[in-house]
Amino acid sequence: MTTAFFTDERCFWHGGGNYVLTVPVGGLVEPGGGLPETPETKRRLRNLIEVSGLARELALQSAPEATREDLLRVHPASYLDAFKSASDAGGGELGLRAPFGPGGYEIAALSAGLAKAALFAVLRGQADNAYSLSRPPGHHCLADWPNGFCLLNNIAIAIRAAQAAGLARRVAVIDWDVHHGNGTEAIFLSDPDVLTISLHQDRNYPLDTGGAEVRGEGKGHGFNINIPLPPGTGHASYLEAMERIVLPALARFRPEAIIVACGYDASAMDPLGRMLATAETFRQMTRQVMAAARDLCGGRLILVHEGGYSELHVPFCGHAAVEELSGSAVRAADPLAETLKKRQPGAEWQAHVSAHIGALAGYFLP
């Protein structure tokens, strides 16, 4: 099995903004540590993969920036021009909590280019599956409005490029980032050729999107699935939601490729989530999706990195996913595994979440 791993040091040089966590500095908000979306979580994942020896079993590579033609399939010229102009002038912020510094436009295009290259490598048979260590992330970015640390919608750009190249038409996107994939949803909301599924903490970010009632528009009705989960959802319930809702939806849709918007902020250690997922959760969800991809689309599976803000835990969550993706025997043991196992929900809460998942599963039946 060949797993391609796309990464580029330049993505870690993206930065900008004067924040404390997610709040702008000013008034009574004292300057502090900045946004939680920093290079460290992703750089530490790449470093762990190299130090553990897993990198020797991957096809590590970079890729060109996504072209303006690629970007225009998703984002209007007016937004791209404003972004490029501000980037050339030293940076700024055009939306909500999505600042960038000088050269931010080119770095965002590179991040999208890594996702595109990962998808193309799998669709062209150059790799069995692939991982894109994209930064900045993309799943919150709407066509004309950046938000939530996202400046370009990496996955949407990759899908539209693959469709334009005739490499695939029907693509499924599973977003297990703790935050709702509002940008990806909006871009494909009326498109019956792209199935979008988002598992996320209910009413985390954005506060006004992600409801189960949003099923798509026009011809795209029925091709958007939101799975809002309550805070405190743990390992077993994530796997249950995958088994009862996500995998049956994939089987009905029968995609030609599956892309995971792979955020690790459902980790129990994440500062921006209130969930209880572990590194083993991400390993097993990857295993579930790999099995579905083998059954439905010749194993064509791509993971595109999105959020995840625990410098300690993201590297181990990501390593577990890449271990599974590549079929490697190399392991990087999660130092928090035993602690997080003890922190999992009790039987009463798990039964409550299970009933919630069951109600959603019934709602989404065709």
The residues near 12 (Cβ < 8 Å, ≥ 6 apart) are: 39, 42, 43, 135
- Find out whether 262 and 176 touch, Cβ atoms under 8 Å: yes
Give the C-alpha separation, 335 to 105, whole Å: 37
Residues whose CB is less than 8 angstroms from the CB of residue 314 and which lie 6 or more positions away in sequence, other chains included: 41, 42, 44, 45, 264, 267, 308
Q: Choose among 183, 175, 191: nearest CA to 152.
A: 183
Alpha carbon distances (Å) from 273 to 73, 91, 135, 167, 184: 32, 28, 19, 36, 20
Helix (H, G, I), strand (E, B) or coil at 3: strand
DSSP state of 301: E
For the chain, counts of helices (H) and of strands (E): 12, 10
The answer to whether 218 touches 196, Cβ cutoff 8 Å, is no
Of 139, 140, 179, 200, which residue is the catalytic one? 140
Residue 139 and residue 306: Cα distance in Å, rounded?
Answer: 7
Mark whether 352 is an active-site residue: no
Burial class (CB within 10 angstroms; exposed 0-12, middle 13-18, buried 19+) of 298: middle
Tokens found for residue 300? 């064509």
List the catalytic residues.
140
